Structure 1
Amino acid sequence: MLHVLVHMGVSDQRVTSVTIAKMLGTSPPAVRRTMGSLREHGIVSSEDGKNGGWRLRKELRDLTVLDVQRALQNGPLLTKPPFQDHPDDGIETSAYRVVAAAYEAAESELKDAFEAVRLSDIALDSVRQSEPRRGITSR
């Protein structure tokens, strides 16, 4: 979905659910559900009718990967570690505690990383990747 939003921001045009569905290899109703979540979070807006479609409500520089993730998924970014089945088992309790601490650290680090990446960064990276390589010639 990130690449769809970046395409929308770069083109600054309305995009239909059918067009997005083709980009994602899914159905227009699935796109409408997903885009509806993004609309509820103020990321996109929609217009009905012949010339309707979806449009970004914010500039790419004002949206982070975390913003999009939070709009599409409630709760933690990572799958939580398994429950502790045998709380009387000291080794299992220790294993759970150590894994849970690592999980919390990873969740926090991923959240910070997603918050640091703006959709404009993705657009800029795409431009850089498409620039011809200097000093390399094809023969």
Structure 2
Amino acid sequence: MKRDSRLSGVLHVLLHMAEHDGPVTSEVLAKAMETNPVVIRRVMAGLREQGYVRSEKGHGGGWTLACDLSRVTLRDVYTALGCPSLLAIGNRTESPGCLVEQAVNAALDQAFNDAEALLLARLGEVTLAMLSADFHKRMVARGGRHDLEHVHAV
């Protein structure tokens, strides 16, 4: 089953942008994320609508952060992505009249709802600034510096 990694990818892009002085093009972000610039532009457009990023056209243009990292939570970004499904498992629905299926689905629905509520609450506790601080701690420990155009090069 394919996992939806959009949230992780968008958080990745936002943190790279936070480390970059000036606008970053969709092409540079796409290269770092090993995807197509069109995918980056589509995702960034949704974040722009929420006020998290802005775009500048023309030579020297690109995407920049438009938010305070300490005020944006992982849940905020998740919501900006359209609230993709959090769980990859679901209920069987082939026999809706089956009382066993109804009992199983009722129990699973409650467990899924509880798990999603817990996960959403946790996402609401973590800010982009907290992720950035963790990144900086790791970068200092490694003794490196951030270079978006080469950070993912092998």
TM-score range, shorter chain: 0.7 to 0.9
Does the 8 A contact of 2:70 with 2:127 survive in 1?
A: yes
Question: CA offsets per residue over residues 58-93 of structure 1, 9 Å max, x none?
Answer: 011111111111111336533472254334322221
Q: For 1:13, which of 3, 22, 28 is the aligned residue?
A: 22
Given the two structures, how large is their TM-score scaled by the length of structure 1? Answer: 0.85
1:72 equivalent in alignment to 2:84: no
Q: Which amino acid aligns with 1:95?
A: V
Does the 8 A contact of 1:6 with 1:60 survive in 2?
A: no
1:34 equivalent in alignment to 2:36: no
1:23 equivalent in alignment to 2:28: no
Matches within 5 A, 1:72-91: 72-74=81-83, 76-79=85-88, 81-91=90-100
Does the 8 A contact of 2:55 with 2:61 survive in 1?
A: yes
Distance 1:114-1:95 versus aligned 2 partners, 3 A rule: same
In structure 2, the partner of 1:61 is 70
Identity %: 35
Given the two structures, how large is their TM-score scaled by the length of structure 2? Answer: 0.77
Distance 1:38-1:99 versus aligned 2 partners, 3 A rule: same
Distance 1:70-1:80 versus aligned 2 partners, 3 A rule: farther
Number of residue-to-residue matches in the alignment: 133
Does the 8 A contact of 1:9 with 1:59 survive in 2?
A: no
1:93 equivalent in alignment to 2:102: yes
SS at match of 2:130: helix
In structure 2, the partner of 1:48 is 57
Does the 8 A contact of 2:92 with 2:101 survive in 1?
A: no
Does the 8 A contact of 1:14 with 1:54 survive in 2?
A: yes
Q: Which has the larger radius of gyration?
A: 1
